[in-house]
Amino acid sequence: MIYHTNNNMQIAHTAAEMRGQLQALRGHKSIAFVPTMGCLHQGHISLIEKAKSLADIVVVSLYVNPLQFAPSEDLEQYPRPFEADARLCADAGVDFLFHPASLYPESGCKVTLKVTTLHDCLCGTSRPDHFDGVVTAVNVLFNIVQPNIAIFGEKDWQQLSIIRHMVNDLSMPIEIVGAAIVREPDGLAMSSRNRYLNNHERQQALAISQALIAMQQQAENGEHDVKALRNTARNILEKNAITAQYIEIRNATSLEEIDTLDHHNNQNSRAFIAAHVGAARLIDNMPIHSMPQEQQP
Ligand code: AMP
């Protein structure tokens, strides 16, 4: 991969600095924004590359958002390798890096956003306040950066779906663009939390993408029954000593549950898995073709 090092990358540590740096560009340069929690990997870099292809200016934020972590979760442990992240961003050609100490008032946040759709399933079941925290942070970031376009990974499919609703419902003039999941060569979805895995757990974690692929293949071979597909995935995970938090097949847009695949209509279905492996909570998803590939329109 060829990167275009941007030696002129500017770093802002406060909202005022970020606004000031972008001020002169507004109106005549298009701005694409990639919000992240840092600890960057090739998945994040692919979002940056997409941003570069879509706009004149690329802004990346690095911020581990406390509002989206429950007290029992890994807020404190979450890796924050700022120097390495800044180098990766410069090497990827990022123009502005926003690295705030906090996004909220010192006295705490008295106004937050509440998600009322797509939030009470999949990750929302075990993380009930998570998406409220995500949209509140993304909203603050959007208000500071005021991008034309923002890029989010399909790795966090539910998050991407909720952000699309947020922008629509709150009438934000921002185009939301999804980016495909980037995987390790063996299939494991890249994640900052993969760093928590030891060698054995890294091997175990591979079962997550293998289980998704097995469901995909079984569906393509004609299995209609979602229960049967989920059992296939569960068996693969259990053989690798992984107990899934959820294994589900849902409509990719509405996130409604699907019981039976319709092999005569293209259903836009997607399979989702979340599982704890060692100290890491990992998520992944893949499309499920409800029609055999050769019959698809
Ligand atoms: P995070 O730093 O985990 O909050 O992720 C920041 C953005 O990168 C989110 O939009 C994620 O969906 C996206 N992302 C994380 N991992 C991947 C991946 N493996 N492939 C594509 N996008 C990803």
pLDDT, position 2? 45
Q: Which atom of ligand 1 is nearest to the CA of 47?
A: 22
Bridge partners, residue 257, by sequence: 250
Both 59 and 9 in a single domain? yes
- Cα of 12 vs centre of ligand 1, distance in Å, is 21
| CATH number of the domain that residue 18 is part of | 3.40.50.620
User: Which of 4, 41, 44, 289 is the catalytic position?
Assistant: 44
**Residue 245 pLDDT > 90, yes or no?**
yes
Q: Is 13 a catalytic residue?
A: no
Query: 188 C-alpha vs ligand 1 centroid, how far in Å?
Result: 13
Per the model's pLDDT, the better-predicted residue between 24 and 3 turns out to be: 24
Q: Are residues 48 and 149 in the same domain?
A: yes
Q: Per the domain annotation, does 227 fall within a domain? A: yes
Q: Structural domain tally of the chain? A: 2
pLDDT of residue 11: 98
pLDDT at 3: 47
Residue 15 scores a pLDDT above 60: yes
- Tell me, what's the pLDDT at 4? 58
Check whether residue 145 and residue 201 sit in a common domain.
no
Looking at the structure, tell me whether residues 155 and 213 fall in a common domain.
Answer: no
Verify that 175 and 196 share a domain, yes or no.
no
> What would the pLDDT profile of 59-108 be if each residue is shown by its tens digit?
999 999 999 999 999 999 999 999 999 999 999 999 999 999 999 999 99
Tell me, what amino acid is at 118?
L
248 lines ligand 1 (CB under 6 A): no
Ligand 1 centroid to 264 CA: how many Å?
34
Nearest CA to ligand 1 atom 5: 36
Q: Is 48 in the pocket of ligand 1 (CB under 6 A)?
A: no
The predicted structure's pLDDT at residue 29:
98
pLDDT digits (tens, 9 = 90+) for 23-51: 999 999 999 999 999 999 999 999 999 99
206, 151: one domain: no
Q: Are residues 138 and 253 in the same domain?
A: no
Under the banding of pLDDT at 50, 70 and 90, the label for residue 294 is low
The ligand 1 atom nearest the CA atom of 182: 20
Residues 214 and 164 in one domain: no
Query: Could you tell me how far CA 237 lies from the centroid of its own chain?
Result: 22
**Which residues form the domain of 270?**
192-295
pLDDT at 220 over 70: yes
What is the arithmetic mean of pLDDT over 6-23? 95
Q: Where among 141, 156, 179 does a domain terminate?
A: 179
Is the same domain home to 163 and 205? no
Domain boundary among 157, 179, 201: 179
Is the C-beta atom of 192 inside 6 A of ligand 1? yes
Among 179, 213, 230, identify where a domain stops.
179
Of the chain, the percentage scoring pLDDT greater than 70 comes to 96
Per-residue pLDDT band at 281 (split at 50, 70, 90)? very high
User: Residue 297's pLDDT is what?
Assistant: 57
Q: Are residues 197 and 155 in the same domain?
A: no
Q: Is the pLDDT of residue 7 over 80?
A: no
- Which atom number of ligand 1 is nearest to the Cα of residue 180? 21
Same domain, 223 and 109: no
**Rounded mean pLDDT of 13-26?**
98
User: What's the chain's average pLDDT?
Assistant: 95
Residue nearest to atom 14 of ligand 1 (CA): 153
Pair 164, 274 in one domain: no
Could you tell me which of 155, 141, 203, 175 has the C-alpha nearest to residue 44? 155
Q: Does ligand 1 lie within 6 Å of residue 189's CB atom?
A: yes
